[in-house]
Structure 1
Amino acid sequence: MHRIWKSFRALYFATLLMLIGSGLLSTYLGLRLAADKVDGLWVGALMAANYFGLILGGKLGHRLIARVGHIRAYVACAGVVTAAVLGHGLINFLPAWLVMRMLVGLGMMCQYMVIESWLSEQADAGMRGQVFAGYMVASYLGLVLGQLVLVLHPGLGSELLMLVAMCFALCLVPVALTRKLHPAPLHPAPLEPRFFIRRVPQSMTTVLVSGLVIGSFYGLAPLYATAQGLPTEQVGLFMGSCILAGLLVQWPLGWLSDRHDRAVLIRSTAALLALAALPLALMPSVPLKVLFPVGFLVCLLQFSLYPLAVAFSNDHIEAERRVSLTAMLLITFGVGASIGPLLTGALMKLLGPNMLYAFVSFCAAVLVLRVRPDAVTGLHRVDDAPLHHVPTPDNMTSSPLVAALDPRVDEKDVQDQMQNGDNPSAEPPAEDRPEQPQPDK
């Protein structure tokens, strides 16, 4: 692990700085609007704009990198993100904030793509799992540290925006000074939505619900905590502990995922999530001794859904299609994360802040009804590869290229699939043709 850290420390450090800035910005904007007595609908709209930008960046990032190269694309996007962050302090007009929030998401997705293409190309096949784990730790650690900044500096002045801008400016340095060879040109992975919806419908549903829940959490949990009477520093602690739960659950979740039926695990996790969120949904005022442990438990469960769905879908998709699968899962997650904050913000405006956890409980209950382990036929299960669970970054802090870091995916398959992006109409292998696909989920 020391050798991996030494080899990729510049890229890990850039990721850490990016996520410190991103995590702090999301919570800061929610708290700032709450302090200005702006309703939750605008807070949800800002988070939805961020995820829309991430989806858009996944499409435009390939073209930009292909046109100007990796470092120039990274530098340009970091400059746009830094300017957009500072724009929040210069312009006090909410529709303009929506545009700037979208630009932040778009630029960050391109930055993710640059970093991940470097990691995937420079990592040996036997090291990809450890490289991936290091990337995930840097991502979660950055999100947690971003929340803890509020503990040290609870004021909501423009100096926090300046700190966020500093993080995005400084993340330029390790990438600009890296001595790593430039990765090969990128090709977009072809999307096959109909194929994946037919082949892995329960995984797609789980990812969509995960997006609805996690997008709502990141956008509106600071507003909920403020409504419970928490000062800024306690809001930072609450958010930090919740995000830390998402990191801590990954390793025991992986152990369980590799040993038990993943459809059963998804349904059980959703049932527990529906029950765990009920106290916060039903109690208009929650004491701290209840809020922190219950919030931690809810996040343990809600951050488990996406990794389980990713592992479950990979069990039933051939290796040469897994880059496309990753792209499709991220887009589905992004769509859910764009819609969730808007729906939850409207509910909180009409019925009160505890509607955040009522929405979580409702979504989890729908997933319990939708995921049926007895419907998994196993007809398309892939048995020729070690499909072990690999922890996956949450909050869409990755691009479709992250599939190349997954040790379950053969490097040649990744390259072939990315090359096929130039010809999305290319006919799939005979055994993959979806003329009569049987749902495995």
Structure 2
Amino acid sequence: MLKQQLRAISSLLTSITLIGICTGMTSTLLSLRATIENFGTLTTGIIMSAYFIGFLFGTSRAPKDIRRVGYIRAFGGLAALAAASILIQAIWVDPIVWFVMRFLTGFAISAIFVIVESWLNTMADNKNRGTLLSVYLVLIYGGLVAGQLILGITDPAGFVAFALVALLINFALIPILISVTVEPTTHESRKVPIRSLLQLVPLGMVNAFIMQACYAMFYGIGPMYATYIGLSVAQVSYFMAAFILGGMLAQAPIGLLSDRIDRRIMMAGCAGTAAIMAFILSQLDASGAWLIYVCVTLFGACALPLYSLGMAHTNDYLEKDQMVGATGAIIKVGGIGSIIGAPAVAALMQFGAVNYFFLLIMVMTSFVCAYSLYRITKRPKADDQSHSAYAMLGPTQTSDELLTTLADEQAHMIEEEEAEAESQQPNANA
């Protein structure tokens, strides 16, 4: 079943891999170029936050585009917008222009992610959703690693690196537009308000908010932090590549394991280990470059899979027609976290608190770990999520809201049966 699904979306996965290469190059490229242009740490943080403000708007627009023109056409138009915004940043190096263009890039890329992730979720079920999302994210992370390495052999002060990003985005259009791609039937999806998701799956929302803030901090300010502690430009690219490589290597095993045991246990374990690695990294400098690479690889292996774990956990409790709207809501919550994350850590670094970069990430991942463990005590696992025999959990206490819902449903069924019996009684008398 999984192999058939992967074959059906092979062109989509090829395209999103190329988008991953471009995303990996762009964030580090702009951070390094901003340093060369002396924009300042706080200004750079604000520019990077524009990307996530665009993310926020893109999540609202993508479901409308899917319903109006379908998955493939929406993907093509948004990719073209992303390529144009990258080229304009190369032509016009100005903080205000970059802020606007980063907004447009974030708008386009977030909408593409909503399209792809909702597309994947509609083709998955609770037994293989973690695996399918992990394959998708492994390909993205592979692209991100390749993007960092490609950037390492280009000059961030020149035009070629920007042009290469735009070229690859255009190449990403080819597989999905010229192949016979199996596209899900578009239908009117149910809107899923953020408030409803907070009540239904609070851990998924908290995880999205905190982890996207961590990702924004690392991708947006991480290259500058690495420069401050004494790493060279080439070492900065290795630093970023090691983080993404760790996530890529760990994504599939963690995804497979999460389909067999409670996803919340996996989330707690990954977040707790990520917090430990963040603390160790906060104590290192350029004199231990190889130790930094090892630790940041382990940090990425634990931190990056948390997004797909939270997404899979959330969709375990949703119906098919809720997934497009829910995906947009999840990315919107994450976008809010991203907008706050990058400028916050940039402001700390601007005033000399460089070591707070990883210490703040440590606090945030520790909270995800603690909250995941707390939610295990408040709600049973999703009914359809498969578990292996050795990972069976003991019974957990159901919430009052769940008991009330079950009681209401039972009462409703009894009322329907009584009404049906009354409707048949006149016929029997006749």
Q: Same fold, TM exceeding 0.5? A: yes
Deviation at 1:20, TM superposition (A): 1.1
In structure 2, the gaps of 5 or more residues are 389-403, 409-430
Counterparts of 1:123 and 1:11, CA distance in 2 = 15
Query: Paired residue for 2:226?
Result: 225
Query: Paired residue for 2:17?
Result: 16
More helix per residue: 2
Deviation at 1:174, TM superposition (A): 2.1
What secondary structure, in the 3-state scheme, does the structure 1 residue paired with 2:192 have? Answer: coil
RMSD over equivalenced CA pairs, Å: 3.4
Residues 206-240 of structure 1, C-alpha deviation per residue, up to 9 Å, x if partnerless? 33221121111111111112223322222222211
Deviation at 1:91, TM superposition (A): 1.4
Matches within 5 A, 1:27-426: 27-115=28-116, 132-180=133-181, 183-185=184-186, 187-254=188-255, 256-258=257-259, 260=261, 262-283=263-284, 285-314=286-315, 317-319=317-319, 323=323, 324-373=325-374, 376-378=377-379, 381-383=381-383, 385-387=384-386
What secondary structure, in the 3-state scheme, does the structure 2 residue paired with 1:373 have? Answer: helix
Paired AA for residue 65 in structure 2: L
Paired AA for residue 276 in structure 1: M
Deviation at 1:77, TM superposition (A): 2.1
Q: How many residues align?
A: 391
Paired AA for residue 110 in structure 1: A
Q: What is the aligned-residue identity percentage?
A: 28
TM-score of the aligned structures, taking structure 2 as reference length = 0.79
TM-score of the aligned structures, taking structure 1 as reference length = 0.77
Paired AA for residue 291 in structure 1: I
Counterparts of 1:264 and 1:126, CA distance in 2 = 17
Deviation at 1:201, TM superposition (A): 2.9
Residues 296-354 of structure 1, C-alpha deviation per residue, up to 9 Å, x if partnerless? 12222222433343444455x25458625444332222221221111111111112433
What secondary structure, in the 3-state scheme, does the structure 1 residue paired with 2:39 have? Answer: coil
Counterparts of 2:367 and 2:127, CA distance in 1 = 39
Change (3 A) 1:299 1:96: same
In structure 1, the gaps of 5 or more residues are 390-428, 434-441
More off after superposition, 175-184 vs 140-149: 175-184
Residues 257-310 of structure 1, C-alpha deviation per residue, up to 9 Å, x if partnerless? 355554454344333333221233244655212211111122222224333434
Query: Rg larger in 1 or in 2?
Result: 2
Counterparts of 2:307 and 2:241, CA distance in 1 = 20
Counterparts of 1:258 and 1:27, CA distance in 2 = 33
Q: 2:5, 2:123 within 8 Å by CA — same for their partners in 1?
A: no
Counterparts of 1:276 and 1:131, CA distance in 2 = 27
Query: Paired residue for 1:401?
Result: none
Deviation at 1:36, TM superposition (A): 2.4
Q: 1:150, 1:232 within 8 Å by CA — same for their partners in 2?
A: no
Deviation at 1:52, TM superposition (A): 2.2
Counterparts of 1:86 and 1:135, CA distance in 2 = 27
What secondary structure, in the 3-state scheme, does the structure 1 residue paired with 2:354 have? Answer: coil
Change (3 A) 1:127 1:7: farther
Q: 1:318, 1:382 within 8 Å by CA — same for their partners in 2?
A: no
Query: Paired residue for 1:436?
Result: none
Paired AA for residue 241 in structure 2: G
Counterparts of 1:194 and 1:31, CA distance in 2 = 39
Counterparts of 1:169 and 1:211, CA distance in 2 = 27
Deviation at 1:204, TM superposition (A): 2.6
Counterparts of 1:126 and 1:93, CA distance in 2 = 49
Change (3 A) 1:275 1:176: closer
More off after superposition, 95-104 vs 322-331: 322-331
More off after superposition, 162-171 vs 298-307: 298-307
What secondary structure, in the 3-state scheme, does the structure 1 residue paired with 2:304 have? Answer: helix
Counterparts of 2:115 and 2:272, CA distance in 1 = 38
Change (3 A) 1:58 1:353: same
Change (3 A) 1:326 1:124: closer
Counterparts of 2:356 and 2:55, CA distance in 1 = 26
What secondary structure, in the 3-state scheme, does the structure 2 residue paired with 1:229 have? Answer: coil
Q: 2:55, 2:106 within 8 Å by CA — same for their partners in 1?
A: yes
Change (3 A) 1:363 1:71: closer
Counterparts of 2:65 and 2:293, CA distance in 1 = 43
Residues 60-110 of structure 1, C-alpha deviation per residue, up to 9 Å, x if partnerless? 123334444554433332222111101101212212211111111212233
Q: 1:51, 1:334 within 8 Å by CA — same for their partners in 2?
A: yes
Deviation at 1:361, TM superposition (A): 1.4
More off after superposition, 329-338 vs 72-81: 72-81
Paired AA for residue 341 in structure 1: A
Counterparts of 1:262 and 1:302, CA distance in 2 = 14
What secondary structure, in the 3-state scheme, does the structure 2 residue paired with 1:249 have? Answer: helix
Change (3 A) 1:240 1:74: same
